[in-house]
Structure 1
Amino acid sequence: MSHPLLETADLTVRFGGHVAVDHISCRFVPGELTAIVGPNGAGKTTYFNLISGQIPASEGRVRLNGRDITRMSVAQRTHLGIGRAFQLTNLFPNLSVLENIRLVIQSKAGRGFNLLSMADRHADLTAPAQEILARVRMTDQADQVVSELSHGDQRKLEVALLIALDPLVYMFDEPTAGMSVDEAPVVLDLIAALKTRKDRAILLVEHKMDVIRTLADRIIVLHNGALAADGDPATVMASDVVQEAYMGRDLEEALAHV
């Protein structure tokens, strides 16, 4: 196996007496898209929150490129290469779509978030921002104020901002939720394109099996906060432990009701 970009070792969080994530150990390697599935309450989003730093771990470790980031803040983890889509949504809701993307590129270039200097001193960043807009098919919305965007366009902007950030680990939590049939393929095509970069890892919380079949190289299944299965999609969906976790129901049928 390749050297992991991201690793969780016995990662655990308790809320009172409830164990929401229970000693999960996983390694995520470059060039691989891992789909994280499970029924409601399985711990998927909580696991994401532990990795990206929204909540502190009760036990265990999170490592990025071998570095322990368990006690680091969200901002520190983002700086080191953890990128989660919703962290960047509506970064500056009263600025335009183009300006939001340009600000992320500006920060990535080490020039900070100085709004006053953005237009005059960072004009060289406009072209790459426009290129990203074209990739997410939002060129026509370049001058639109972010707060006025439709839900579907906000989700596309999440992906655009994440591309601009260019993290080592991309984290998507149901990226097409609430999007129309016409809008969703744009986001899925972008995620598929990110897979071609063999120096990045992608984590995807998803319950749409058609999306998982199309994109996933690997599936991990969480159940009651614990890791129930981990492997290639065909093997995982056929495994006894997964069928038992879903109380005998077909995995696809069970996830369709999530």
Structure 2
Amino acid sequence: MTAVLETQDLTIRFGGHVAVDRVSCAFHAGTLTAIVGPNGAGKTTYFNLISGQIKATSGSVRLEGEDISGLPAPLRTRRGLGRAFQLTQLFPRLSVLENVRLAVQARHGGALQLLSVWLEQRHLIDEAQAVLTAVRLQDKADTPAAGLPHGDQRKLEVALMMALDPKVYMFDEPTAGMSVDEVPVILDLIRQLKRRRDKTILLVEHKMDVVRELADRIVVLHQGQLLADGQPGEVMQLPMVQSAYMGTTVEEGV
């Protein structure tokens, strides 16, 4: 089976420090891969290399067989890479609905023409409202994004990615900073995406109970290198994985 997303010997050096060191992985549609490792292991940097936020020193990123290593982040997004950041990236002065409508509009081909008929715009608004309903933000559609509490901003960020309908969903600690009551909403959305079986999902997550439940596969990074790659039950029992967590076991957390 051809990989939807693939990294080959992906490497980034900051001076004398190698943050990601020749990481090669292939990711397929219908699979949720959890990327775990101790703090400083290179997980978010690996995400940044894939999504184009930083340029690799060497190696490549391929999307559906095409080398996209030379493309900036916005063009990678247009090709089908969706990235939810640890820090929310929103249009703070626009309403929740307008944030999502702009994402829907971008997926449909850019800015509306001034002479576009109202029904065409209505279609975009309807799609945006459906996404807001999915993330349970429909009652805050008119609220400026900057006025949302942190947990709702995270939900809005996921809504923006859903509105773009990418081939690859990249979640970087999607539940970070959320209250206990808010976490299930995001996890339910990820479960729904996984059930579709047509999306490739990458998840950086520290909560091992979440990883156990959602992951089809676990990739472990340690000091920028690929330490282990396989099914969750097997990977979490590997002595080299457990010892990488500075004396704690994977059962105890990351």
State the TM-score, normalized to the length of structure 1: 0.93
Contact preservation (8 Å) 2:242, 2:250? yes
CA drift at 1:198: 1.9
Q: Give the partner amino acid of 2:6.
A: E
CA shift for structure 1 position 20: 0.4
Q: Distance in 2 between matches of 1:243 and 1:45?
A: 20
Question: How far, CA to CA, are the matches of 1:117 and 1:144 in structure 2?
Answer: 28
1:88–1:161 CA contact under 8 A, matched in 2: no
Structure 1 residues 90 and 38: CA distance shift in structure 2, 3 A: closer
Distance of 1:232 and 1:224 partners within structure 2: 21
1:40 aligns with 2:39: yes
1:131 maps to amino acid: A
Q: Deviations over 1:133-158 (max 9, x none)?
A: 11101111011000110000000001
Which piece of structure 1 moves more, 194-203 or 246-255?
246-255
Q: CA deviation at 1:252?
A: 3.0
Say whether residues 1:92 and 2:117 are aligned partners.
no
Match for residue 253 of structure 1?
252
Partner of 1:122: 121
State whether residues 83 and 167 of structure 1, in contact with CA within 8 Å, keep that contact through their aligned partners in structure 2.
Answer: yes
Do the aligned residues in 1 keep the contact of 2:207 with 2:253 (CA within 8 Å)? no
Q: How far is 1:111 from its partner? A: 3.1
Moved more, 186-195 or 93-102: 93-102
Give the Cα separation in 2 of the matches to 1:113 and 1:251: 50
Name 1:182's counterpart in structure 2: 181
Letter in 1 for 2:2: H
| 1:189 partner letter | D
Cα shift at 1:3: 1.5
- Aligned-residue Cα RMSD (Å) equals 1.9
For 1:126, what is the secondary structure of its paired residue? Answer: helix
Q: Which residue of 2 aligns with 1:146?
A: 145
Matched, 1:231 2:230: yes
Do the aligned partners of 1:107 and 1:113 also contact (CA within 8 Å) in 2?
Answer: no
> What whole-Å deviation, never above 9, does each CA across 1:147-194 have from its counterpart, x for those lacking one?
110000000001111110100100000000000111100000000100
CA shift at 1:29, angstroms?
0.3
Q: Which residue of 1 aligns with 2:80?
A: 81
Q: Shift in Å at residue 88 of structure 1? A: 9.9
Report how many residues are paired: 253
Secondary structure, in 3 states, of the residue corresponding to 1:112? Answer: coil
SS state at 1:188 partner? helix
Residues 208 and 253 in structure 2, CA contact (< 8 A), matched pair in contact too: no
- The secondary structure found in structure 2 opposite 1:104 is helix
Q: Which runs of 5+ in 2 are unaligned?
A: none
Structure 1 residue 41, shift from structure 2 partner: 0.7
- Specify the SS of the correspondent of 1:238: coil
Say which SS state the counterpart of residue 122 (structure 1) adopts.
helix
Residue 85 (structure 1) shift: 1.3
1:227 to 1:140, Cα distance in 2 relative to 1, 3 A: same
Runs (4+) off by over 3 Å: 87-91, 116-121
Give the partner amino acid of 2:245.
Y
Q: Please say if residues 6 and 27 of structure 1, whose CA atoms lie closer than 8 Å, have aligned partners that are also in contact.
A: yes
Q: Contact 2:33/2:201 (CA < 8 Å) preserved in 1?
A: yes
Residues 205/253 of structure 1: CA separation in 2 closer, same or farther (3 Å cut): same
Point out where structure 1 has 5 or more consecutive residues left out of the alignment. none
Query: Structure 1 residues 180 and 229 mapped into 2: Cα distance closer, same or farther (>3 Å)?
Result: same
Deviating more after overlay: 197-206 vs 41-50: 197-206
Instruction: Quote the Cα distance in structure 1 between the aligned partners of 2:179 and 2:26.
Output: 33
Mapped partners of 2:151, 2:229: distance in 1: 31
Determine what percentage of the aligned residue pairs are the same residue: 63
| 1:54-109 CA distance string (max 9 Å, x none) | 11000101000000011110011000001001399443211110111111111100
Q: Is 1:136–1:190's contact at 8 Å kept on the other side of the alignment? A: yes
